[in-house]
């Protein structure tokens, strides 16, 4: 029978990885902001998706990963293979 881990145990195990991901994201955005043509990137739909993703990560709930996956997924097209 699997042993259930506490939230504190999970947090302790994941903290450095989560911090690393945030630093990586912040550093990439800083490099983009400092580069030539940053204004054009700000209007790119993918950057807007990232902005929405940041809001999802900062939101409440236990379905953030699902909402992120849906944000970055294409809409289902019926009969796509025909």
The pLDDT of 70-79, averaged and rounded, is 91
Helix axes 45-58, 64-71, angle to 10 degrees: 170
68 belongs to a structural domain: yes
6 belongs to a structural domain: no
Residue-range definition of the domain harbouring residue 70:
44-75
- How many domains are there within the chain? 2
Q: 41-55, pLDDT tens digit by residue?
A: 999 999 999 999 999
| pTM, rounded to two decimals | 0.81
Is residue 2's pLDDT more than 80?
Answer: no
Q: Which helix (H) or strand (E) holds 58?
A: helix 45-58
Residue 47 DSSP code? H
Q: 30-42, pLDDT tens digit by residue?
A: 999 999 999 999 9
Q: Strand, helix or coil at 65?
A: helix
Percent of the chain with pLDDT over 70: 99
Q: Under 8 Å CB-to-CB from 47, ≥6 apart: which residues? A: 41
CA–CA separation, 35 vs 29, rounded Å? 10
4 belongs to a structural domain: no
Is residue 11's pLDDT more than 90?
Answer: yes
């Amino acid at each position: 029978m699997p042993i259930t881990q506490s939230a504190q145990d999970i947090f302790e195990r994941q903290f450095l990885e989560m911090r690393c991901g945030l630093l990586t994201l912040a550093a990439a955005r800083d490099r983009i902001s400092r580069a030539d043509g940053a204004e054009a990137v700000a209007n790119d739909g993918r950057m807007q998706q990232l902005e929405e993703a940041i809001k999802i990560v900062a939101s409440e709930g236990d379905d953030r990963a699902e909402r992120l996956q849906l944000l970055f997924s294409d809409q289902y097209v019926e009969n796509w293979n025909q």
